[in-house]
Structure 1
Amino acid sequence: MTLRYMPGFGNDFETESLPGALPQGQNSPQRCAYGLYAEQLSGSPFTAPRGTNERSWLYRIRPSVRHTGRFQPVSNDHWKTAPNIADHEMALGQLRWNPLPLPNRPTDFIAGMRTMTTAGDVHTQVGMAAHAYVLNEAMVDDYFFNADGELLVVPQQGGLRVHTEMGVMDVTPAEICVLPRGMIFKVEPLEETSRGYVCENYGAKFTLPDRGPIGANCLANPRDFKTPVAWYEEKETPCRLTVKWCGRFYVTEIGHSPLDVVAWHGNYAPYKYDLRTYSPVGAILFDHPDPSIFTVLTAPSGEAGTANIDFVIFPERWMVAEHTFRPPWYHRNIMSEFMGLIYGQYDAKEEGFVPGGMSLHNMMLPHGPDTMGFEKASGAELQPMKLTGTMAFMFETRFPQHLTRFAAELDTLQDNYLDCWTGLKKRFNGTPEGNWD
């Protein structure tokens, strides 16, 4: 398996797995080499501006109309889609979960998807869903595509091999991959079991955030994103293709693999990224910037500066600010935050928030460091220090995230989460020094 650098979002790429399979000088010749079919996959309207126009030309063994037969409805009870409102009785509040238990019976990537929250409305292509997944079985003759949105996959335990129409990607913890809307794929675990998170983006596709005054460098650099090279699976066996469309699932039986693209060119493609290549920026004197400086990818909305989704990480980094409370401050936010921990400790909550765990702080609900984190940060000698061995992330959206019944009734929900703040005592005593005893 070979990957190549993706030098910039919006640029065209070309790759072929057989010499001469890719036409030169035109997209759809009268007869394609090797008896292939030319087909365009569009991720944007045809007339979208050049900078946002997304499409790729695929040269495949069969056109995709041969990869679908008569669809039949199929159920997937744990994968929910917005709007999914009021399907439980739990009251509003700050919430946190321990990791999902690993499966004890054969479970593939699609069957192992568990929706935690939904936001927005898939029918108007706004919002998102936050999922956790567990699996222990490969999708061998089963394939899937999602017409509702693109999937951002964040492995936490055990890697994945993702076979797509346009190539193969191995994605391990501390890496992510993005599967575009409509892309056919299948997944196999690289280890006995695997667990992780998925953000299903109903809205505008993920792209790099503007850097503004930061300039041309740092944050996620385009050269670190990788696209797969062309690869095809020529298999004449009974297969199944499942489609998610407007929140419902449909399956069709076919007699061959749909992963039959021999060559492709364009800019609508899957890609992967190593989160450890993220170049963070921060304060080098006092205070600290807003957490938006940790944005890896953003899915914009129609309102400038207000994201449909931001994908934010909290990686290893140096802390050097003087006379400053260094962890995230206490805050209430217009955005709704679903958070996960890939490995290590999160500096604002060193206990209770464990790798594979999740938390939800919805719009305008206060949150911030737990008592231990506050006490430690308030009394620490402020020498330069490096946070090491840590990687947390956040799916953040402008829309309220509605809890699913599965999440509300999950055994790993921490009933005592709110207790992490009960030790934050009153320190006001009417003097400038306050009561810090």
Structure 2
Amino acid sequence: MTCRYMPGFGNDFETECLPGALPQGQNSPQRPPYGLYAEQLSGSPFTAPRGANERSWLYRIRPSVRHAARFRPTAFSHWKTAPNLGDHELPLGQLRWDPVPMPKADTDFLSGVLTMTTAGDAMGQTGMAAHVYAVNASMVDDHFFNADGELLFVPQEGSLRVVTEMGVMEVAPGEICLVPRGMIFKVELVDGPARGYLCENYGAKFTLPDRGPIGANCLANPRDFKTPVAWYEDREADCRLTVKWCGRFYRTEIGHSPLDVVAWHGNYAPWKYDLSTFSPVGAVLFDHPDPSIFTVLTSPSGEEGTANVDFIIFPPRWQVAEHTFRPPWFHRNVMSEFMGLIRGRYDAKEEGFLPGGMSLHNMMLPHGPDADSFEKATRAELAPVKLDDTLAFMFETRFPQHLTRYAAETDTLQEDYIDCWKGLKKRFDGTPQGNWD
């Protein structure tokens, strides 16, 4: 795998596998070098403002329109798309799941995606879907692109090799990668079966949040994002291409690998990011800021300060605040929170929330630390403490997240999750100090 630094979202890149494969001075010469075809991939309308305009020019062995047959419908029964309403009978509530087990039958990426929640409307290009994937086989001659949204991969167990039209990315647990809307790719395994999380973002593309008073540095820095260098296959084979479009799947046959881009330039590209390079900030005296301070990426909604989707992490960090309840406080939120754990323990749920597991706290449903974590935090000596060997994340959206039938009926759903708050007893006794014994 070869990646390079991505110096900033929206910047142009250029890369070629063969010397002189990139035309100079124009994008579509009458006869491109090496007999290649020029093809533009646009991730925004042609007339989008310069700062929001996204497109890349690909110089490929065959144009992507070259496929052998019409598309035919196909199906992946566990991959759902918003709106997906009335899919189950489970009542509203705070929910948590154990990790999805690894499959026993051969399962590649397309058949290994399991949708947990959907939000918004893919055809209106708003909202998202939260999926998990559990995979034990590589895609070899199968390829895929998603016209409904971009795909953010969050590996939890096992590494992936994500092979795209524009290059190859190897992504391990603790890293993330993104494949833009409409880009052809396949997923291969690196070191055995793999499991992780997947955010399908129907809305505005993920970008870096504004830092506001934080200033020019910290959080996720643009220089730590990497985009792949050009890589191509010149391979004659019975390949297949599957497309997701408006919630339905279609497939066609291709007599060659579609991953045949020899050179490209532009700003519409896949990328990967190492979450350990996220530089968290926090309180250094008392109290602590809102969890939005841990936002890595945001998909804007058009309403200032209200995200279509935020991707938030809770990484290793020091806690030093004085006279402060340090775990996340009890709260109700207009946003809907889908949470996963990549490794270690989460400080507000030290038992029951397992690596590979998930929780869902929908809009305005109360949640917070369980009784044991609350008890521990109220009695802790408030010396500086390092939260280490932990990495949790959240897909947070302005839209309510609707469960799929799979999520509502799977055996991994914890029926007793609500009991984690049973031990929160009444401590009010009419005195200023309260009953903390």
Query: By the TM > 0.5 criterion, same fold?
Result: yes
2:309 equivalent in structure 1: 309
Structure 2 matches for 1:93-132, cutoff 5 A? 93-132=93-132
- C-alpha contact 2:68 2:255 (8 A) present in aligned 1: no
SS at match of 1:423: coil
- Amino acid corresponding to residue 392 of structure 1 in structure 2: A
1:178-198 CA-to-partner distances (Å, cap 9, x unmatched) read 000000000011122100000
**1:147 aligned partner:** 147
Q: 2:197 aligns to what?
A: 197
Structure 2 SS opposite 1:65: coil
Residue in structure 1 matched with residue 425 of structure 2 by the alignment:
425
CA deviations on 1:14-52 (whole Å, 9 max, x unpaired) are: 000010000111111111000000010000011111111
Distance 2:190 2:394 in 1: 25
What's the offset of the Cα at 1:302?
Answer: 1.4
Q: How does 1:11-410 map to 2 (within 5 A)?
A: 11-67=11-67, 69-410=69-410
Query: Aligned in 2, Cα 1:269/1:340: closer, same or farther, shift over 3 Å?
Result: same
Q: CA deviation at 1:109?
A: 0.5
Give the distance between the partners of 1:180 and 1:239, measured in 2 at CA: 22
- The question of whether the paired residues in 2 share the 8 Å contact of 1:28 and 1:38 is answered with yes
Give me the whole-angstrom Cα distance separating, in 1, the residues matched to 2:320 and 2:342: 24
Structure 1 residue 68 displacement after superposition: 6.2
Residues 246-255 or 59-68, more deviating: 59-68
- For each residue in 1:160-183, what CA deviation from the matched residue of structure 2 results, as whole angstroms up to 9, or x when unmatched? 001000000000000000000000
State the alpha-carbon separation in 1 of the partners of residues 232 and 57 from structure 2.
15
Displacement of 1:308: 0.1
Q: Which amino acid aligns with 1:335?
A: M
**Letter paired with 1:382:** L
Q: Displacement, 1:69? A: 2.9
Give a deviation string over 1:369-390, Cα, whole Å, max 9, x none.
0011101110000000110000
Where do 5+ consecutive residues of structure 2 fail to align? none
Deviations 1:127-152 (A, max 9, x none): 00000000010100000000000000
* Partner secondary structure for residue 311 of structure 2: strand
Aligned pair count reads: 437
How far apart, CA to CA, are the structure 2 residues paired with 1:11 and 1:192?
35
| Runs of 4+ residues deviating >6 angstroms | none
Verify the 8 A CA contact 1:68 1:241 in the aligned structure 2.
no
Whether the aligned pair in 2 keeps the contact of 1:67 and 1:258 (CA below 8 Å) is no
CA distance in 2, matches of 1:417, 1:68: 51
CA distance in structure 1 between the partners assigned to 2:40 and 2:342 by the alignment? 36
2:80/2:118 contact within 8 Å kept: yes
SS in 2 for 1:82: coil
Instruction: Point out the more displaced range, 68-77 or 197-206.
Output: 68-77
Q: Report the residue type matching 1:54 in the other structure.
A: E
Q: Secondary structure of the residue that 2:66 maps to in structure 1?
A: helix
Residues 76-124 of structure 1: CA distance to partner in whole angstroms, max 9, x if unpaired?
1000000000110000000000000100010001100000000000110
Measured in 2, the distance between the counterparts of 1:35 and 1:17 equals: 14
CA distance in 2, matches of 1:434, 1:374: 16
Distance 2:403 2:262 in 1: 42
The separation in 2 between residues aligned to 1:17 and 1:75, in whole angstroms, is: 36
| Amino acid in the other structure paired with 1:422 | K
CA contact (8 A) 2:148 2:244 kept: yes
Residue identity (%): 79
Q: CA RMSD in A?
A: 0.6
**Secondary structure class of the residue paired with 1:69:** coil
Decide whether aligned partners of structure 1 residues 250 and 311 sit closer, same or farther in structure 2, where only a CA change above 3 A counts.
same
Q: Deviations over 1:194-220 (max 9, x none)?
A: 000000000000000000000000000
In structure 2, distance between residues paired with 1:185 and 1:68: 18
Aligned partner letter, 2:405: R
Counterpart CA distance in 1 for 2:426 and 2:190 is 51
Deviation at 1:67, TM superposition (A): 3.7
Partner Cα distance (2:292, 2:137) in 1: 37
Unpaired segments of 5 or more residues in structure 1?
Answer: none
CA distance in 1, matches of 2:239, 2:306: 42
Equivalent residues of 2:149, 2:202 under 8 A apart: yes
Contact 1:327/1:347 (CA < 8 Å) preserved in 2?
Answer: yes
Rounded to whole Å, the distance in 2 between the matches of 1:366 and 1:55 is 43
Q: Structure 2 CA distance, aligned partners of 1:67 and 1:153?
A: 28
For 2:35 and 2:82, locate their aligned partners in 1 and report how far apart those are by CA, in whole Å: 42
Against the structure 1 CA distance between its residues 270 and 20, is the aligned structure 2 distance closer, same or farther, given a 3 Å change threshold?
same
1:274 & 1:51 partners in 2: Cα distance?
A: 25
Secondary structure at the aligned position of 1:123 is classed as helix
TM-score normalised by the chain length of structure 2: 0.99
